[in-house]
Chain A
Amino acid sequence: MEKFVQLVVDGLSTGSVYAALALAIVLVHSATGLINFAQGGMAVLAAYFAWWLTNQGLPLIVAILLSIVFSFVLGAAVERWLMRRFERGDPDTAIVVTVGLLTLITGIAGWLWSYNNQQFESLFPLDTVSFLGVSVSVRSIGTTLVIVAAMILLQLLFVRTKLGLALRAVAINPQSAAFSGLPVGRLLMVGWGLAAVLGAVAGALVAPRLTLTPGMLDNALVYALAAVILGGLTSPFGVVIAAWLIGVLENLAAVYVPFIGFDLKVAVPFILIFVVLLVRPQGLFGRKTVVRV
């Protein structure tokens, strides 16, 4: 039982990382209608930036905060100078652009800091605490809490502020938003920046466990995409639930299903997807979209 609870808590923490990336993907998709395959890559670049700052002698928390600012600028710049051109065009071309961006970012990180694994300091101590009679790691709880807090902040921004209202307006109908005087271009940049920030938070929290490599979040990207498919592109809430579900299920499957084990647990979300797609193609919580010719 104790093992089971530990697995669930650890699963929730990795699930939170997937959830943050998945939310970033949903955020970008709702604003610009495309899937950003470079979302994980951008987060890795932010993590490298933080790691480089700590090597310059800055304390970890300052380095992470600076990397968050960096990734906001990075996300906005990518939207303005790279994606803007492809946003109104063919979504498949836009996907290829983001794949190119992923390759480029991986290449830059590998070229600047080599492809070797780098140790990234953890924000949380490696202790365990007693929780409901079982010991669970502080890092897992901390990761989950930080990401949940980030998601709540983001939700408040969207629901309670004028900026959030404008962002939602642009996401729902960019043309009408432009007609009512909103600076659509700048708001899209903000949307991409916020998505990059979410990714950066996830990257900084998961880097100590995975160790820093240019391809660190490739697997996490796959999980995040799985969560996006399962939860439905239109439902941020569903995506988070799906990400947690994936995180917990893959952990349980790795231990309790002998054939899967730790190396094959990446297949778990896709077995889930196959089942869900055959039963509910719009995702667990998504709405069916109807397109007019």
Chain B
Amino acid sequence: MASSSKTSGPAASASTSSAPSSSALSFKQRPWVRWGAPLLLLVGLAVLPLVMTESTNDTLARIGVFAVAVLGLNVVMGYTGQVSLGQIFFLGLGAYVTAYGVSQEWNIVLVFALTCLIPAVAGLVVALAAARLGGLAIAMVTVALPIVGVPLAKRLSDYTGGSQGLSARFVEAPEGSGLYDDQWQLYIVLVVGGIVFLLTSLLVRGKYGRAFAIVKGNENVASSMGISPYRYKVLAFTIASLIGGVSGFLYMVVVQYTSPETMSFGHSIELLVAMVIGGAGSIVGSILGGAFYVVVPDITNAIDPSLTALLQGALLLAVLFVLPGGLVSLPRAVMRGLRRSTAGRGSAAPPTTPSPTAGSGSATENPETERQGHV
């Protein structure tokens, strides 16, 4: 692919991207950048676990886990516009299924399949009922999932270990690989998470993604176009639950312990906060959201643990006021602000949405930044 793009690349990339048909390609659209950058990122991610310290690897792995969880939330909320306050429940469910399967010494492939299947079925059942009402009902019903989930997990103590929780150590670096456990765990998160991100980004850009976007935009328009809002809401919620289940599997890979506290109401809200702050409806935003979810409590706990919720709430409101697109839209907002201030002094050029020709160095084009995200 990379070699053939030497000749056919410019035409192909010019036709697939929204670039103007001028022959002068910007820096980002040159073929070696288009193929080279993701490759570089891939190599970087492959080397990264080997050179980082153990605690950095652990933090990165946890970021990966919650990036996947936020991605699931993004499918139902960012892309389909249905507020879900229950995503953490599916992470917890996936974690419990994994822990139980491991404790029964089932084949790990079977365990993984179940951690996809069981949360997806649970999500399907919830969505079938919740999506029957208008858009707000999904929020009102899903808020119950963590609140019912915690006592339910405590009650089903035969399977969940009750309040004690379950621990499962099943991820050890294979002998002879020369890897430490933390490096191996990070690799698993990178590979599984990477596949989930790749598949999801294909999904939201394809036929289903467009249907989700129409359901988000206007349900009546959607149904007049023959797109059943009900069906697509259920579908989006089911996929989000499935991805949540996968994040639960990864959670067990990294944390190796789960308890009812994993799916508490507070965590569920934190996940939503992380998604909005990272950037709703964005693949890169999901990664930023995962980073926010993991890093901010780490920082605030070091200062004063009682400040965490205060800070998260204040940050969420601040982002909604000044940067509704989340952190992922920050470069674009900054560029727009810069351009407006220069335009204000010079000619009266109206502020427009950034076009690829505006600046070769600006990392503003969404598809381009997203492309790097899922490698």
Residues of A within 8 A of B (CB): 34-35, 37, 82, 85-86, 90-93, 95-97, 99-108, 110-111, 114-115, 214-215, 218-219, 221-222, 225-226, 228-229, 261, 263-264, 266-267, 269-270, 273-274, 277-278, 281-282, 289, 291-293
Contact = CB atoms under 8 A, between A and B. Distances in A.
Nearest to A86: B320
Contacts of A282: 133
Contact of A115 (B265, B306, B312): B306
B129 A35 contact: no
A103 B313 contact: yes
Contact of A229 (B137, B147, B154): B137
Given A101-B313, A103-B269, A292-B220, 8 more contacts: A34-B136, A92-B81, A92-B83, A93-B320, A104-B317, A106-B313, A222-B147, A225-B144
A80 to B, nearest CB: 14
Given A93-B324, A215-B265, A270-B148, A107 B313 contact: yes
Interface in B124-141: 129-130, 132-137, 139-141
B310 interface: yes
A78 to B, nearest CB: 11
A36 to B, nearest CB: 11
A111 B313 contact: no
Interface in B245-263: none
Contacts of A228: 140
Query: Top 9 closest A-B pairs, CB basis?
Result: A104-B313, A107-B310, A107-B309, A103-B313, A100-B316, A293-B220, A225-B140, A263-B151, A281-B132
Given A110-B309, A264-B151, A100 B317 contact: yes
B116 interface: no
Interface of B: 77, 81-83, 85, 129-130, 132-137, 139-141, 143-144, 147-148, 151-152, 154-155, 218, 220-221, 224, 265-266, 269-270, 272-273, 276, 306-314, 316-317, 320-321, 324
Contact of A103 (B134, B135, B224, B316): B316
A277 B147 contact: no
A291 B151 CA distance: 39
A5 to B, nearest CB: 27
B101 to A, nearest CB: 24
B155 A264 contact: yes
B130 A277 contact: yes
Given A104-B317, A215-B266, A281-B132, A96 B140 contact: no
A193 to B, nearest CB: 20
Contacts of A214: 309
Contacts of B129: 273-274, 277-278
B313 A110 contact: no
A107 B134 CA distance: 31
A132 B308 CA distance: 51
A86 B144 CA distance: 25
A219 B266 CA distance: 12
Nearest to B152: A264
Given A92-B83, A111-B307, A218 B147 contact: yes
Given A92-B83, A96-B316, A277-B129, A110 B135 contact: no
Contacts of B313: 100-107
A34 B83 CA distance: 12
B317 A97 contact: yes
A264 B155 CA distance: 8
Given A92-B135, A218-B265, A293 B218 contact: yes
B152 A91 contact: no
A68 B310 CA distance: 23
Nearest to B316: A100
A228 B133 CA distance: 12
B147 A225 contact: no
Given A35-B140, A264-B151, A85 B310 contact: no
Give the interface centre of A99, A214, A218, A264 by most chain B CB atoms within 10 Å.
Answer: A99
A13 to B, nearest CB: 21
16 contacts: A93-B320, A96-B272, A97-B320, A99-B85, A99-B316, A101-B317, A103-B312, A107-B311, A107-B312, A111-B306, A218-B265, A226-B140, A270-B148, A274-B129, A281-B133, A292-B220
B144 A222 contact: yes
B141 A102 contact: no
B225 to A, nearest CB: 11
Give the interface centre of B139, B220, B265, B307 by most chain A CB atoms within 10 Å.
Answer: B139
Contacts of B130: 277
Give the interface centre of B85, B132, B133, B270 by most chain A CB atoms within 10 Å.
Answer: B133
A270 B144 contact: yes
B301 to A, nearest CB: 14
Contact of B306 (A96, A102, A110, A221): A110
Contacts of B324: 93
A221 B316 contact: no
